Chains A and B, each alone.
Chain A
């Protein structure tokens, strides 16, 4: 007999409780604290079940990235946040007192706003970064797989992800590269448009130049690695980039066909001189993009005097990245407004869910009475024409609809202003439900 599937937890679906978020982020906690509280991927399933058992949450999700660890849960009662916080500490074997400064607790509307801002990367270290949305999606998927995702978190997932996409396309928060490697790639695209068929020459094999080269190659460029000190590392790199490798003596050959040069050797002096570039260039009308990320610099500064030659060193790239970041911050205000509106819509929708069951019941009850009374009187009326049948149906339906219209409107309005619970019990009493 095959081993039985472990019972999957079902998220409870009664629309009770509100959203609570408890966690730490780069704003409140240093890296060691965030690391200590992180949930590794393989532990997440168990953690979610344990969380629901210990805190009594109806639904739960855990978002764990290098910049934040957050528990999202739908809970009831005044102590819910406390319970989630103590779970976070107990699970990682930490004393709650030691983390009191770092952990934040949010509930209700504040929690919803926070969830929307996080997904839209407005709470990220680098505003507008794209990674967080993927991480948020993955966290929801993990919760879904664990069976702890119910209707509220499910809706929060859809709405917050949609809002994040909207913020990205409708404002400029994602525009402009903000890391050195990406700025270099963006500049290359501004010069060459298409990277297909362009030759990238890497001189030296550092981490940052590798990252930039990898992006250029994935855009269709071909790589050549010119070895710095050792041939070994260069060969390895060339293989992983699908390119060829040349010794330093053949630098000039490499330059003659280069469109983009990324230089990052550890050499103490200049590696590429203006005269070398001038002599090596065969196609003088074509642009040549030189990226110097070495400190001390590898490329002679006067090379920019040559027509069509563009040189960017590490400082230049950084200042472009900073300018882009400033622009993103400016755009963030517009994104905040947009995301806040989306969050408020979600909260309104969430509130209206309280009254939905009652509205359904009310309508059902009305229809039952109508059908029962119609059945009683119908036998006494004898055969009727189709039109008469229809008129009878329409008239009785209209009575029910008109009677139920005012309480329906009243309930919907109350739910929007957040005072539905009294009205719900009153109307239940009134209609004997």
Chain B
């Protein structure tokens, strides 16, 4: 965390410890994003990579109340942020949320399973390459991970060519092609080294995004990205 943010957080925690309820608001407004990212990570680790915005607001609000409760015992000298200090209670909060949404979790688990099948299954070829827009448009409506992947492509500003290469490379592998880069090189008029480089580069970017942004954490589980 940046030094000035650290100072700001310490000030808020001191005020909370002193019983200043207005500091709960300051915590919610100023650190809700970071707390939300932590909660997303807890939820993702429990199998819920996506969370509704309204639900997230409630979860962050609940987490702020937890931080308010522990303010008296927390110390900046321990080195942990308050939401890491209260990690157990935040995980309980996340678990309770998932417990209330068991049906949604079932749907999501099924969607991830479907997405793995779809993303790893050979696409029927009709002689012409399906455009990336058509492929993704079909996938994003049927499963959340595919929608997430599409969103990640947009965040990374991945070119259409790189998207096609990544998906085609995965499909070629799934079809049993032992040299997918060579196959794609002839299709796209590139060298096989360039294909491998483009695929590897986009995978690396996706993994990095999954690592730093909890919204995309579940991407790391997709065989396509691994």
Q: Are the chains A and B members of one assembly? A: no
Q: Which residues of B contact A (CB under 8 A)?
A: none
A residues near B (Cβ < 8 Å) are none
